[in-house]
Amino acid sequence: MRVSLAGVMLLAGCSVSHVGPAFDTPIPAGEVRDSLELKLTLEPRQDCEESFDLALYQHRGIELIRWDRPQGPGRCEGRRATIRYIPARIQRAQVIRLCRTAARQVEQVEQVRQP
């Protein structure tokens, strides 16, 4: 399966909340956050981690993707990422759908609720 930016944008298009200004903007501190921890096999390529990020961040409901330190530089398989998102802008299921479009395999590890 290839990383399909168009596919991701199509999925993102299901929600209107991803539309925003022509640049990145802060999310107000008062907005509720939630996190998802995932085990991922990324599309094998030189910049697999970055490609995944660029695809997901198209949606403005995704606030931060925090990566583990890979076993070797540029590793694309067996990666762990914690995705912080804004539930009012994107639902958990939609986050997972976006991940499935951008990665080869997605496995949910656990859901961490932030206070």
Give the gyration radius of the chain's Cα atoms.
14
Q: Is 104 in the site for another protein (CB under 8 A)?
A: no
Instruction: Quote the least distance from Cβ 94 to another protein, whole Å.
Output: 17
- Quick check: 18 and 56 in contact, CB under 8 A? no
Q: Is 25 in the site for another protein (CB under 8 A)?
A: yes
Instruction: Quote the least distance from Cβ 33 to another protein, whole Å.
Output: 11
Strands 34-42 and 103-112: antiparallel
Q: Which residues between 43 and 102 bind another protein (CB under 8 A)?
A: 44-48, 50, 53-58, 60, 62, 64-67, 71-72, 74-78
Return d(Cα 103, Cα 43) in angstroms, integer. Answer: 6
Return d(Cα 21, Cα 55) in angstroms, integer. Answer: 17
| List of residues contacting another protein (CB under 8 A) | 20, 22-26, 44-48, 50, 53-58, 60, 62, 64-67, 71-72, 74-78
